[in-house]
Chains A and B, each alone.
Chain A
Amino acid sequence: MKFRLTTGAIASVIVFIVAGIAWTLWDQAALAIHKFGWQFWQTSIWDPVSGEFGARPFIWGTLYSAILAILISTPIAIGIAVFLSDWCPASLRAPLVFVTELLAAIPSIVYGLWGIFVLVPAVREFQVALPDWIRAMPMFSGPPVGVSMLSAALVLAIMIIPYTSSIAREVLKSVPATQREAAYALGATRWEATRVALHYARTGIFGAVMLGFGRALGETMAVTMVIGNNPQVKWSLFAPQYTMAAVIANEFSEAADELHLDALVEIGLVLFAITLIVNVGSRLLLWQMNRERKPKQRATAPAEEAA
């Protein structure tokens, strides 16, 4: 009983911390919230000089970059996970796992530096090399500056691959051997057996992807260094844009007046709300998927123990 109370108290601390963070953000952003209301989510202007603030380009930049990163990283991460769990020779597995997990240990600022010196010039050259008719399309338009949405999405994708792939690998590893064996017994090839395992593990893999998405939403430093920091809502992959985390990091120490500061805190609040929505949403989806899978569990007699 005592134990239960103690652990219960400790667990509730977490809830208080989350609520406390939300409250602090709300409180610190009071001026901006009061002045702009819901308009803050929709306004595209970000002008500290005239005191006009809107979060729309930052929300756009955060979501767009994170979604692009997921689109790029998910197939690669799942490919890595499948290779490591089903196809890789045993002697190669441990070193490969080590290397992919090492990627997760690299500090974000180092990714940023690499992005500036390698990725950004590469993106610029790629854009210049594209034929004119492609560059005329809205997705690929704009001057070739290199710092852009695409650079940010690529850095993010590389950063989240180790997270998604290591969880997806664990999930694939935990698929009961009899699932693959059942497929083999029906004349499945190795690839078809892998697909059975992927199907069995799909909720877990979805969870792995969402974890990567959550991380991409909040990633700050590396993105700030390569995205171009220009608040605009554009589809173009080559346009410099901005994210919520990046604008807070860039402007917080230089925010001179109260309203600017409060607007930045409110950006933080919006980011907090969006990550919360994404997390709750993916939880609900997972829950729904699991319910479809196991509508009700019926008891069967316990297995006869081996003699």
Chain B
Amino acid sequence: MKITVEHLNFYYGAKKALTDISIEMKANEVTAFIGPSGCGKSTFLRTLNRMNDIIPGARVEGSVKIDGADLYASGTDAVLLRRKVGMVFQKSNPFPKSIFENVAYGLRINGMAKGRELAEQVEASLKAAALWEEVKDRLHDPAMALSGGQQQRLCIARALAVRPEVLLMDEPASALDPIATQRIEELIYVLKKDYTIVIVTHNMQQAARVSDATAFFWMGKLIEFGPTPSMFTGPREKLTEDYITGRFG
């Protein structure tokens, strides 16, 4: 098991956002989180790299372990941890710098590469994110000049550059057109050979297409979790069935 979560509770101040979540995610698999808006799936995703730490009043109970090491143990350095757990956001968020500098950023701040080595790693990351062919002649153009889909793949390249083990994707294709979405999905399929991927999505077809396992969240609780095919063909819970057949949500 790559990621093991046990009895996780999460609070925004006094408000309880996640209740008693326990789940295990396998290495080199894609796990999809589905559920209606406000069900806690994004909040849960953000507990996996302690991104919620920066929100004032946020509080976590329970344990999240990656390779057996507890993220919330007192000795864990959130900064080092986040380097191991990359993240791609709902809306592409490149820095207002050049394409090259966006990918190089993580390598620079972590002191991972310099000079030629830096350029090679940027290239490798852009290739891994299937963007290299489109941008190799204009690496020093502003990242903001890229199309929405290219920007999102740039953000993936940026996340891959620091060589994480886990990749968290928070609705990575929700702002993209169908063709750009398809490219992201193909990319996810390729990337899972090297990474453990967790993806939050509103789009159930997408979850069915890209994931190996699916977790259904509702009102801050994990309702059902299992292999994707059985989740979509024969869910155990009535709530899951109602949601995936579009009866609510």
Which residues 262-306 of A have a CB within 8 angstroms of B? 292-296, 298, 300-304, 306
B82:A300 contact, CB within 8 angstroms:
no
Question: Closest chain B residue to A307 by CB distance?
Answer: B249
Interface size on A, residues (CB 8 A): 31
A178-B89, A295-B144 are known contacts. Are A187 and B54 too (CB-CB below 8 A)? no
Answer whether residue A181 sits at the interface, using C-beta atoms and an 8 A cutoff: yes
B249:A185 contact, CB within 8 angstroms:
no
B177:A186 contact, CB within 8 angstroms:
no
A186-B106, A188-B79, A301-B175 are known contacts. Are A181 and B54 too (CB-CB below 8 A)? yes
Task: Select one of B80, B144, B159 contacting A185, CB under 8 A.
Answer: B159
Beyond A196-B95, A200-B95, A294-B142, 11 additional contacts (C-beta under 8 Å) are A184-B54, A185-B159, A186-B83, A186-B86, A187-B162, A188-B82, A199-B95, A295-B142, A298-B148, A300-B149, A306-B37
Answer whether residue A192 sits at the interface, using C-beta atoms and an 8 A cutoff: yes
Q: Tell me the minimal C-beta distance from B128 to chain A in angstroms.
A: 15
Q: Tell me the minimal C-beta distance from A90 to chain B in angstroms.
A: 6
Contacts of B106 in A (CB 8 A): 186-187
B144:A187 contact, CB within 8 angstroms:
no
B95:A184 contact, CB within 8 angstroms:
no
Answer whether residue B36 sits at the interface, using C-beta atoms and an 8 A cutoff: yes
Q: 8 smallest A-B Cβ distances: which pairs?
A: A300-B148, A187-B83, A186-B106, A185-B87, A301-B177, A178-B93, A306-B37, A303-B175
Q: Tell me the minimal C-beta distance from A291 to chain B in angstroms.
A: 10
Task: Select one of A184, A293, A304 contacting B142, CB under 8 A.
Answer: A293
Answer whether residue A107 sits at the interface, using C-beta atoms and an 8 A cutoff: no
Q: Tell me the minimal C-beta distance from A182 to chain B in angstroms.
A: 5
Answer whether residue A20 sits at the interface, using C-beta atoms and an 8 A cutoff: no
A307:B82 contact, CB within 8 angstroms:
no
Contacts of A301 in B (CB 8 A): 148, 175-178, 180
Q: Tell me the minimal C-beta distance from A196 to chain B in angstroms.
A: 6
Contacts of B180 in A (CB 8 A): 300-301
Question: Closest chain A residue to B97 by CB distance?
Answer: A199
The residues of A with any CB-CB pair to B shorter than 8 Å are: 90, 176, 178-189, 192, 196, 199-200, 292-296, 298, 300-304, 306-307
Answer whether residue B158 sits at the interface, using C-beta atoms and an 8 A cutoff: yes
Contacts of B148 in A (CB 8 A): 298, 300-301
Q: Tell me the minimal C-beta distance from B87 to chain A in angstroms.
A: 4
Contacts of A306 in B (CB 8 A): 36-37, 202
Which residues 164-210 of B have a CB within 8 angstroms of A? 174-178, 180, 202-203
Answer whether residue B145 sits at the interface, using C-beta atoms and an 8 A cutoff: yes
Answer whether residue B105 sits at the interface, using C-beta atoms and an 8 A cutoff: yes
Question: Closest chain B residue to A185 by CB distance?
Answer: B87
Contacts of B83 in A (CB 8 A): 186-187
Task: Select one of B37, B145, B159, B178 contacting A186, CB under 8 A.
Answer: B159
Task: Name 23 A/B residue pairs within 8 A (Cβ), A-sorted.
Answer: A178-B89, A181-B51, A182-B89, A182-B95, A184-B82, A185-B51, A185-B86, A187-B82, A188-B82, A196-B95, A199-B97, A293-B144, A294-B145, A295-B141, A300-B175, A300-B177, A301-B176, A301-B178, A302-B175, A303-B174, A307-B37, A307-B202, A307-B249
Q: Tell me the minimal C-beta distance from B70 to chain A in angstroms.
A: 19
Question: Closest chain A residue to B34 by CB distance?
Answer: A307
A186:B147 contact, CB within 8 angstroms:
no
Answer whether residue B75 sits at the interface, using C-beta atoms and an 8 A cutoff: no
Q: Tell me the minimal C-beta distance from B199 to chain A in angstroms.
A: 15
Question: Closest chain B residue to A202 by CB distance?
Answer: B96
Answer whether residue B155 sits at the interface, using C-beta atoms and an 8 A cutoff: yes
Contacts of A188 in B (CB 8 A): 79, 82, 109
Which residues 63-114 of B have a CB within 8 angstroms of A? 79-80, 82-83, 85-87, 89, 91, 93, 95-97, 105-106, 109-110
B82:A304 contact, CB within 8 angstroms:
no
- Residues 36-63 of B, flagged 1 when their CB comes within 8 A of A and 0 if not, give 1100000000000101001010000000
A185-B49, A185-B159, A300-B175 are known contacts. Are A294 and B93 too (CB-CB below 8 A)? no
**How many angstroms between the C-alpha atoms of A153 and B159 in the bound complex?**
46
A182-B155, A295-B144, A307-B37 are known contacts. Are A187 and B79 too (CB-CB below 8 A)? yes
B109:A186 contact, CB within 8 angstroms:
yes
Contacts of B79 in A (CB 8 A): 187-189
